[in-house]
Chain A
């Protein structure tokens, strides 16, 4: 787009701007659609149910060992 057109040729300016806007919006929608959609907890509470669902299948031993070591270092675990 030409800066001068905003005054000298407003119709061309508007046409080019609108075409650019449509292009930008289409590209943005394409980018957002490419992002994987996850389940969303609409009520802000059921996410905790989601977290608990998988607990029996998780192996958190390595993570927990590190956390236990950390907590022992400052006395949160005797």
Chain B
């Protein structure tokens, strides 16, 4: 059988790598929040680091187990979406439901990744208001797996 000792062990990103990633994610969230005049959120650093490492783990998983199937940016942002929904690293000061707020931020990232991928492929998206409302509900209240969300993102590109 496979000798596990021959496989490298996953090492989490270094402090500097995590900081780089965190800056990009937070800057994007900040810019989005400002663009719609939303309150700028606070960040739970522990949850943010957990999110970054979990996305990285999945990137490595794809590299090790599916080298012919590149993960791609769309799937990478699906992972960010998934872990923001799960970990809720952002919160508003005061008594706000963090689930709803993180859902809205994650949805913004998810849909922008879908739009961007559609543009790259010279296709359109199927993000009607009815589908958007459905997805907002599903992202908050349903159990969507990472793979289901990846497939979902693909099907929105037509």
List residues of chain A with CB under 8 Å of any chain B CB: 29, 32-33, 35, 37-41, 44-45, 47-48, 50-55, 57-60, 62-68, 70-71, 74-78
Contacts and interface: CB of A to CB of B under 8 A. Distances in A.
Contacts of A38: 70-75, 117
B127 A62 contact: yes
Given A32-B66, A33-B68, A66-B133, A74 B55 contact: no
Contacts of B73: 38-41, 47, 50-51
A58 B116 contact: yes
Contacts of A29: 68
A75 B39 CA distance: 9
Contacts of B97: 74
Contact of A71 (B38, B70, B128): B38
Interface string B84-125: 000000001010110011011001110111011101100000
A55 B28 CA distance: 11
| Interface size class, chain B | 35 or more
A63 B129 CA distance: 7
A44 B53 CA distance: 10
Interface in B29-50: 35-39
A4 B62 CA distance: 38
Given A38-B73, A40-B72, A50-B116, A66 B132 contact: yes
B104 A51 contact: no
B70 A40 contact: yes
